[in-house]
């Protein structure tokens, strides 16, 4: 069968690539076309548009790139019509994908959505779009089951794909000494800096992370470089500083880090699943943040706290993200500190809530099963 997949950012590329593995395991003749990235391309098929040309964050950034976004959307629609897939699979990225869902459904294609839009946080009006244009919704957080049930949306929860992503890439933790040798780093404990995968996130969050990391001379700061960005993006902030950067090795970096500063997003959950104590940092363009504050309805922004419905990890947002506050929180998470032990204990409970590995494979198999049985909404 033929599958057209749309993933618009790094995390979508990761989870979509593992989903493709699951689909291929159940459908040996699977054909793929997609908007995505290098990880999806490694699974075969045809890459139509790379996500690096699609990932825009915040109200202002979106407005400034409307022409590019429109061109990407027209290319996506044209590609779907030419490919004539058995199903269009949309992965997260709701601003773009919900418009594609409407288009695909109107032209008679089956539409599945993997990694639901965070409508429980903001833009709840999108629930109506999901009900109208999505044939099957695959969710990745247990707390979403009850939410979508109450909204009248038929959803399926088969586990969280971050567990698979980590175990597939890193079945065993890397010893600190080995990681340092492999990457030409000093033999010192590590504070991992994970400032996001978008230029705007790095601009607003990395400078504060760097200032605080410098205050822990017994540790070395190592930045998790986003695969979609060039080193020159980071050099603007790290010039003259004692800091290293590694690309395409976020999991390896986290596996041997003592502590992490993480920009809110999927990485907060990944750090927790890898048992890395963390402080969540999130600062952005003032106008974009003001708009977000006006519409976001949830108490927490990190996926760790949202799934636990408690403040397991400290969230320093916008004006709270200051060197003094970040230093204080980081100091409390160093080895031997009670707050570190408490956070790690909560991580263990989070793992139990999210369930077992194999989510990507299960979702892939379910998609094939639904198509083979000629599933109708």
Residues 59-87 pLDDT 10s = 555 556 667 778 889 999 999 999 999 99
Look at residue 199 in the predicted model and tell me its pLDDT.
86
- pLDDT value at residue 295: 46
Say which residues have a Cβ less than 8 Å from residue 110's Cβ, sequence separation at least 6: 86, 87, 88, 135, 371, 375
**What element of type H or E holds 260?**
strand 259-263
Q: Which residues of the chain have pLDDT under 50?
A: 290-291, 293-295
pLDDT at 69: 73
Instruction: Please report the pLDDT score of residue 171 as a whole number.
Output: 87
**Contact of 77 with 47, CB cutoff 8 Å:** no
The pLDDT of residue 240 is: 87
Q: Is 29 exposed, middle or buried (CB count within 10 Å of its CB: 0-12, 13-18, 19+)?
A: exposed
Structure pTM?
Answer: 0.81
User: Distance between terminal CA atoms of the chain?
Assistant: 19
Q: Which residue(s) pair with 247 in the sheet?
A: 225
Maximum separation of any 2 CA atoms in the chain, in Å: 61
């Amino acid at each position: 069968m033929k599958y057209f997949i749309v993933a618009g950012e790094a995390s979508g590329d990761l989870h979509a690539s593992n989903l493709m593995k699951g689909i291929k395991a159940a459908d040996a003749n699977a054909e793929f076309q997609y908007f995505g990235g290098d990880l999806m391309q490694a699974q075969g098929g045809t890459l139509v548009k790379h996500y690096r040309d699609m990932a825009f964050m915040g109200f202002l950034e979106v407005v400034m790139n409307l022409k590019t976004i429109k061109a990407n959307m027209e290319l996506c629609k044209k590609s779907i019509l030419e490919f004539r897939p058995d199903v269009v699979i949309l992965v997260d990225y709701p601003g773009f994908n919900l418009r594609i869902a409407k288009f695909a459904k109107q032209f008679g294609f089956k539409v599945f959505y993997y990694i639901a839009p965070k409508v429980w946080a903001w833009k709840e009006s999108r629930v109506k779009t999901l009900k109208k244009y999505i044939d099957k919704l695959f969710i990745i957080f247990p707390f979403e089951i009850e939410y979508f049930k109450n909204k009248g949306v038929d959803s399926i929860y088969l586990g969280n794909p971050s567990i698979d992503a980590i175990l597939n890439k890193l079945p065993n933790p890397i010893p600190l000494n080995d990681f340092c040798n492999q990457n030409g780093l000093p033999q010192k404990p590590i504070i991992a800096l994970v400032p996001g995968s978008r230029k705007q996130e790095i601009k607003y969050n990395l400078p504060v992370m760097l200032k605080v990391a410098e205050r822990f001379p017994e540790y070395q700061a190592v930045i998790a470089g986003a695969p979609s960005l060039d080193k020159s993006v980071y050099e603007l902030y790290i010039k003259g500083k004692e800091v290293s950067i590694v690309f395409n090795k976020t999991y390896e970096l986290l596996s041997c880090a003592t502590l992490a500063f993480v920009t809110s997003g999927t990485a907060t959950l990944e750090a927790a699943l890898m048992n890395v104590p963390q402080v969540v940092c999130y600062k952005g363009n003032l106008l974009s943040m003001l708009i977000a504050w006006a519409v976001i309805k949830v108490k927490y922004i990190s996926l760790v706290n949202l799934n636990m419905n408690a403040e397991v990890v400290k969230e320093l947002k916008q004006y709270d993200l200051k060197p003094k506050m970040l230093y204080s929180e980081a100091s409390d998470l160093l080895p031997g500190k009670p707050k570190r032990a408490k956070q790690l204990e909560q991580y263990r409970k989070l793992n139990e809530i999210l369930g077992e590995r194999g989510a990507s494979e299960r979702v892939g198999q379910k998609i094939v099963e639904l198509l083979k049985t000629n599933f109708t909404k």
